[in-house]
Amino acid sequence: MRVGVPSEIKVHEYRVGLTPGAVREYVARGHQVVVQSGAGAGIMATDDAYRAAGAEIAATAAEIFAGCDMIVKVKEPQPSEWVQLRPDQLLFTYLHLAPDPEQAKGLIASGCTAIAYETVTDEKGTLPLLAPMSEVAGRLAIEAAGEAMRRSEGGAGILLGGVPGVAAGRVCVIGGGVVGTHAARMAVGLGAEVTIVDRSIPRLRELDELFQGRVRTRYSTLETIDHEISIADAVIGAVLIPGASAPKLVTRAMLKHMKPGSVLVDVAIDQGGCFETSKPTTHAEPTYVVDGIIHYCVANMPGAVPQTSAAALNNATLPYGLALAEKGVGALHALSDTGRGLLAGLNVHKGKVTSKAVADSLNLDFVAPETALAA
Note whether 183 binds ligand NAI by CB under 6 A: no
Note whether 198 binds ligand PYR by CB under 6 A: no
Choose the one of Mg ion, ligand PYR, ligand NAI, none that binds residue 203, judging by a C-beta under 5 to 8 angstroms depending on kind.
Answer: ligand NAI
- Within 10 angstroms of residue 167's Cβ, the number of other Cβ atoms is 10
| DSSP sequence for 173-235 | EE--SHHHHHHHHHHHHHT-EEEEEES-HHHHHHHHHHHTTSEEEEE--HHHHHHHHHH-SEE
Note whether 95 binds ligand PYR by CB under 6 A: no
Alpha carbons 138 and 234: distance in angstroms, whole number: 13
Nearer to ligand NAI, 258 or 301 (CB): 301
Choose the one of ligand PYR, Mg ion, ligand NAI, none that binds residue 271, judging by a C-beta under 5 to 8 angstroms depending on kind.
Answer: ligand NAI
DSSP structural state of residue 349: E
Among 45, 53, 129, 137, binds ligand NAI (CB under 6 A): 137
Alpha carbons 312 and 138: distance in angstroms, whole number: 14
Stretch touching ligand NAI by CB under 6 A, among 76-84, 146-154, 295-303, 328-336: 295-303
Order of strands across the sheet that contains 352-353 = 56-58, 32-36, 2-5, 70-72, 90-93, 113-116, 346-349, 352-353
Note whether 135 binds ligand PYR by CB under 6 A: no
Alpha carbons 133 and 112: distance in angstroms, whole number: 25
Note whether 300 binds ligand PYR by CB under 6 A: yes
Note whether 270 binds ligand NAI by CB under 6 A: yes
**96 has catalytic annotation:** yes
Note whether 302 binds ligand PYR by CB under 6 A: yes
Q: Is 264 annotated as a binding residue?
A: no
Q: Is 298 annotated as a binding residue?
A: yes
Find the catalytic residue in 31, 266, 270, 295.
Answer: 270
Contacts with 348 (C-beta within 8 Å, 6 or more apart), sequence order:
97, 104, 107, 108, 112, 113, 114, 354
Note whether 128 binds ligand PYR by CB under 6 A: no
**270 has catalytic annotation:** yes
Among 90, 116, 158, 269, binds ligand NAI (CB under 6 A): 269
Q: Is 139 annotated as a binding residue?
A: no
Q: Is 301 annotated as a binding residue?
A: yes
> x/- binding map, residues 196-235, to ligand NAI, per CB under 6 A?
-xxxx--x----------------x---------------
Q: With contact defined as beta carbons under 8 Å apart, do 32 and 44 qualify?
A: no
Instruction: Give buried/exposed letters for 237-269 (b at 16+ CB in 10 A, else e).
Output: bbbbebbbbbbebbeeebbeebbebbbbbbbbb
Q: Checking phi first, is residue 183 left (phi over 0); if not, alpha (psi -120 to 50) or beta?
A: alpha
Alpha carbons 345 and 150: distance in angstroms, whole number: 40
Note whether 270 binds Mg ion by CB under 5 A: yes
Alpha carbons 194 and 86: distance in angstroms, whole number: 48
Stretch touching ligand NAI by CB under 6 A, among 31-39, 269-277, 282-290, 324-332: 269-277
Known binding-site residue numbers for NAD(+): 134, 198, 203, 220, 239-240, 267-270, 298-301
Please identify every residue annotated as catalytic.
96, 270
Binding residues for substrate, by number, are: 15, 75
Binding site for ligand PYR (CB under 6 A): 94, 118, 130, 133, 270, 300, 302
The binding site for Mg ion (CB under 5 A) comprises 270, 299-300
